[in-house]
């Protein structure tokens, strides 16, 4: 299969090229050139279908002509030593937990597949890659754990000193080996600026095979389709007429992956796009007016995005047609007060902790079912992070503390290792020459 830029359908690249380039040279995002027709496959799936089987099925189509079945199997097996888990809350609502990976958030699925696919391509051609990323927290820990111990790949992560949570810092700085953490005296914007400058610096790009792994990478988007398909297969037998996914959203990568699953034949009735106060997309769905704006701080901070990077992909999917998008995607905005309220309610009623992002999705799902009177509908809410990652918010909402999952316990007990550096390209260049031999 070939991939094109959202800004230029003429320039076609392979999956491998899209993987290592990240952003298209024209500034657009890579999208599949054609729609696959996988209905027959999807209909044949059932409760017994494994996550690996589903991941391998879709990956084989994507890599047709590039890699054989053996390589596809290797990529999937190495990417996913963890799986999603489905919790049926009642007849109308279920939750698919996506936080059983090494960093305890759904971004593990994308990062881990990207790492595994890169490792496969690099080993074939005996090349090396240096992944350079700036992070304000969550993305960095998913990337760091996903690339840890991958052959032929070094990872350098820049994060702003004192501005990520203590637990997140531990996740970034305790892996060692091929993962180097740089603690930058400056802001997240400084870190991002330094990374961008490094990519266009002639001396550095000559010295190191620099590659990005940021969230707009196609290699992180595509694997997020797999759990939509898996959740459908798990629920299929019990579904009545209508089936929806509700997706807590920030940059809308997760939702966009679901839209591709639908486009390629997954029988979904619609999607609920749930946001916090950063409601640019729900506002667009309501009014037809897209007005990105500076982000606002909320309790679900991984969704504090004022200009969602994947909106360009969503528009391309619906041929820039507002009515087409509205027919499938329903928007809703959930306030911080409602988020806290629903976290308490779910703990009291179902004895379940939700992270604040998942709570936004849960609230929007319940409201959707009530408002639209979808009596014959079922909504599957995507649970995006383990509640213990946001322990302060959970305690504030419920008065109780969730238990730390094993990967977080392990990270918390290890010793931090980082290089402190200034916020210029010269500082970054010096340390790169020092650590990457
Ligand atoms: C990144 C993230 C989101 C938002 O996902 P997008 O793909 O950016 O819409 C939601 N919840 C958590 C916990 C996240 O880390």
Residues 150-199 have pLDDT tens digits of 999 999 999 999 888 888 899 999 999 999 999 999 988 899 889 989 98
- For residue 201 the two structure tokens come to 């610096």
- For residue 116 the two structure tokens come to 């595994």
User: Distance from the CA of 103 to the center of ligand 1, in angstroms?
Assistant: 13
Tell me the pairing of strands 129-134 and 93-97: unpaired
Residue 256 near ligand 1, beta carbon < 6 Å: no
Closest CA to 249 of 219, 218, 285: 285
How would you class 291 by CB atoms within 10 Å of its CB: exposed for 0-12, middle for 13-18, buried for 19 or more?
Answer: exposed
Q: Taking the model in full, what pTM does it have?
A: 0.95
Residue 295 near ligand 1, beta carbon < 6 Å: no
Give the model's pLDDT for residue 426.
97
Measured from the CA of 355, which atom of ligand 1 is nearest? 13
Give the model's pLDDT for residue 138.
77
Residue 168 near ligand 1, beta carbon < 6 Å: no
Residue 219 near ligand 1, beta carbon < 6 Å: no
Residues taking part in catalysis:
107
For 279, 281, 330, the CA distances from 290, given in Å and listed in that order, are 10, 7, 15
Residue spans of the chain under pLDDT 70: none
Residue 122 near ligand 1, beta carbon < 6 Å: no
The overall average pLDDT reported for the chain is 94
Q: Using CA atoms, how far apart are residues 129 and 123, in angstroms rounded to an integer?
A: 11
* SS3 state of residue 169: helix
Give the model's pLDDT for residue 235.
96
Give the model's pLDDT for residue 375.
77
User: Distance from the CA of 251 to the center of ligand 1, in angstroms?
Assistant: 7
Give the model's pLDDT for residue 372.
79
In this structure, which long-range contacts are made by residues 298-302, counting pairs with CB atoms below 8 Å and at least 24 apart in sequence?
Answer: 298/336, 298/339, 299/336, 299/339, 299/340, 299/356, 299/390, 299/393, 300/248, 300/276, 300/339, 300/355, 300/356, 300/357, 300/359, 300/360, 302/105, 302/137, 302/138, 302/250, 302/357, 302/384, 302/385
Measured from the CA of 305, which atom of ligand 1 is nearest? 8
Residue 248 near ligand 1, beta carbon < 6 Å: yes
User: Distance from the CA of 39 to the center of ligand 1, in angstroms?
Assistant: 28
User: Distance from the CA of 245 to the center of ligand 1, in angstroms?
Assistant: 15
Continuous H helices in 293-371? 311-317, 322-328, 336-350, 356-371
């Amino acid at each position: 299969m070939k991939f094109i830029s959202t800004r230029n359908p003429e320039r076609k690249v392979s999956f491998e090229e899209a993987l290592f380039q990240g952003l298209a040279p024209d500034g657009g995002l890579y999208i599949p050139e054609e729609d696959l027709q996988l209905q027959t496959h999807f209909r044949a799936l059932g409760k017994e279908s494994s996550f690996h089987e589903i991941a391998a099925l879709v990956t084989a189509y994507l890599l047709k002509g590039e890699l054989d079945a053996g390589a596809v199997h290797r990529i999937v097996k190495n990417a996913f030593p963890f799986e999603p888990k489905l919790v049926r809350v009642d007849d109308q609502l279920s939750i698919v937990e996506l936080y059983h990976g090494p960093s305890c958030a759904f971004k593990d699925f994308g990062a881990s597949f990207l790492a595994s696919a890169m490792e496969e391509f690099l080993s074939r051609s005996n090349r090396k890659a240096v992944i350079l990323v700036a992070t304000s927290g969550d993305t960095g820990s998913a990337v760091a754990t996903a690339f840890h111990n991958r052959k032929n790949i070094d990872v350098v992560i820049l994060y702003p000193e004192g501005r990520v949570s203590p637990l997140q810092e531990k996740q970034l700085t305790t892996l060692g080996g091929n993962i180097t953490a740089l603690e930058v005296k400056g802001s997240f914007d400084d870190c991002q600026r330094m990374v961008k400058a490094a990519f266009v610096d002639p001396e550095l790009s000559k010295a190191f095979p620099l590659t990005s792994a940021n969230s707009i990478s196609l290699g992180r988007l595509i694997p997020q389709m797999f759990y939509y398909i898996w959740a459908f297969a798990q629920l299929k037998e019990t579904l009545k007429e209508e089936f929806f996914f509700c997706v807590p959203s920030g940059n809308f990568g997760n939702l966009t992956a679901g839209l591709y699953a639908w486009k390629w034949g997954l029988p979904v009735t619609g999607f609920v796009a749930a946001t916090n106060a950063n409601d640019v997309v729900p506002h667009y769905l309501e009014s037809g007016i897209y007005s990105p704006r500076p982000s606002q701080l909320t309790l679900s901070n991984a969704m504090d995005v004022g200009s969602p990077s994947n909106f360009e992909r969503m528009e391309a999917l619906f041929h820039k047609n507002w009515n087409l998008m509205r027919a499938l995607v329903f928007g809703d905005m959930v306030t911080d007060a409602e988020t806290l309220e629903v976290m308490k309610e779910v703990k009291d009623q179902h004895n379940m902790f939700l992270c604040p992002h998942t709570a936004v999705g849960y609230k929007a799902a319940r409201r959707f079912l009530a408002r639209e009177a979808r009596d014959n509908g079922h909504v599957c809410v995507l649970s995006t992070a383990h509640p213990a990652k946001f322990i302060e918010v959970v305690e504030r909402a419920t008065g109780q503390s969730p238990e730390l999952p094993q990967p977080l316990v392990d990270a918390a007990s290890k010793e931090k290792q980082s290089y402190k550096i200034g916020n210029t390209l010269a500082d970054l260049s010096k340390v790169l020459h020092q650590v990457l031999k």
